[in-house]
Homo-oligomer: A and B are copies of this chain.
C-alpha cells in the first residue's frame, strides 16, 4: 500500500463529465489499496470569470481581497468532486487550504509555502477517506487567505507529498507526459518514460510548460518522484526523478521559445565594468536576460548582444536609451524576429559531439545560427523566427530517428 498524491488541473475538472472522469481515476487508485490525497484546481474558466468580476468593480483591488475572491474557485472544485465520489459510494472529504494547514508567507497572490501542518489530512486518511484538497491556496500567520500564484496547484501537490512523505506525486494534465519535442510541431516526437529533475527544469524554462518550475524544484529538493500523465487517455506518463537510466539517446528533448527579443548594443567603449553597468541596470528593472554574447572589440569598442522576454522589450529599450550617455554605446538594435531552439539532456556532459550534431542538422537545412549558448545539460541556438519549426524537426530527427 502506497500513499499517492494526485493533482488535476482546471481543464480536467471543467464540467460534470470531466469531474466524473477524474473521480474514476481517483477511485481506481483507491481501489488498488492506496491512500489517496487529491489536489484540484479551479474549474476551466472560473478564475478568469472571477477576475473579470473584480475588474468591473476595481481593476486595482488589493491582492489580499483578490486572494479571498480567487480561492473560492478551488473550493467549488473540491466540493463538486467530493459529491461525485460520494455518489460512487466511496468515503471522501474535501478540505480547503486553511483546513489542511497550508501555511504560507504573506505575499498575497504569490505566497510561498512555509509549512504544511497536515494533521487533519492524516486523521482523514486514518479513517480511510479519500482526501480532496483545494490547490493554489494557503493561510498566512494573520489567519488570512493567500494564493500561490502561477503553477500554484502543482506546488500544493508536491508540498503535500513532501509533508505526508508520499510515495508518488502524479500531476494529471491534458498531455500524455513529457515529449522529446512539442508533438504539434514535430510529428515524430516521442513520449519519454523518464526524465531527471534538472532536465525537466531546463525544458520548462525553454517554454515546454508541462510542469511549473516551482513544483519541480520542490520535488527535487525533497526527492519526491513525480509522474506527469493525462487524465483523458489512461496511458502511463513520464516519471520525473533524480537519476534516469541512460537510454541510447543522450538528449531528452528539443524545445523552442519564440517569445523573445534580441538586443544588440553596438560600439560600447572597451573598458572594464561595461557589461556590469548594462546588466545591473536591467536587473534593477527586473528584466530577465537570457543568452549573452560579447564580441571581441576593435577600435577600442565592443558589441554586446543578449536576449530578453518579448514582453520586456519596450522597458529595456527605454532604460538603455535613457542611459546612452553613461553607457556610451554607438547604436542599439532590437529585433523580435528571432527564436531560441534548445536541446536538453543529462547525458550530454559526458558525450562530446552532441552540440556538433545539432549544428550539423541545422547546417544541412541551411539554417543560420546567430548565437550559441551552452550549459551542462543544454545547448541553445538563436535563429531566425521563420526557421524555428524547421529547426525543431531537423534536430529532433537527427537525435531520435
Contact = CB atoms under 8 A, between A and B. Distances in A.
A98 to B, nearest CB: 7
29 contacts: A16-B53, A16-B56, A20-B57, A53-B76, A54-B83, A57-B83, A57-B84, A58-B84, A58-B86, A61-B79, A61-B83, A62-B82, A62-B83, A65-B79, A65-B83, A66-B79, A66-B83, A68-B75, A68-B78, A68-B79, A68-B94, A69-B76, A69-B83, A71-B75, A72-B72, A72-B76, A75-B75, A96-B145, A99-B143
Contact of A87 (B61, B66, B93, B143): B61
A80 B145 CA distance: 15
A50 B75 CA distance: 12
Contact of A57 (B19, B66, B120): B19
A60 interface: yes
Contact of A82 (B68, B76, B143): B68
Contacts of A72: 72, 75-76
Q: How many copies does the complex hold?
A: 2
Interface residues of A, number: 38
Interface string A14-33: 00100110000000000000
Interface string A92-112: 011010110000000000000
A306 B71 CA distance: 51
Contacts of A144: 99
B50 A65 contact: no
Contacts of A78: 68
Nearest to A145: B96
B58 A83 contact: yes
A60 to B, nearest CB: 7
A58 B83 CA distance: 6
Contact of A54 (B58, B75, B80): B80
Given A75-B72, A86-B65, A120-B143, A80 B57 contact: yes
Nearest to A84: B57
Most chain B C-beta atoms within 10 Å of own C-beta, residue among A56, A80, A98:
A80
Given A65-B83, A71-B75, A99-B143, 18 more contacts: A16-B56, A16-B57, A54-B80, A57-B80, A57-B84, A57-B87, A61-B86, A64-B93, A65-B79, A65-B82, A66-B79, A68-B75, A68-B79, A68-B96, A69-B79, A72-B75, A98-B98, A99-B144
A88 to B, nearest CB: 9
Given A16-B56, A143-B99, A80 B86 contact: no
A101 to B, nearest CB: 10
Nearest to A134: B68
Nearest to A80: B57
A99 B78 CA distance: 20
Contacts of A65: 79, 82-83, 86, 94
A108 to B, nearest CB: 12
Contacts of A75: 68-69, 71-72, 75
Enumerate the 3 nearest inter-chain pairs by beta-carbon distance, A residue then B residue, closest first: A61-B83, A69-B79, A72-B72
Contacts of A54: 79-80, 83
Contacts of A61: 79, 82-83, 86-87
A332 B60 CA distance: 67
Contacts of A82: 61-62, 65, 68
Interface string A143-156: 11100000000000
Nearest to A75: B72
Nearest to A68: B79
A50 to B, nearest CB: 7
A80 B69 contact: yes
A127 to B, nearest CB: 12
B87 A58 contact: yes
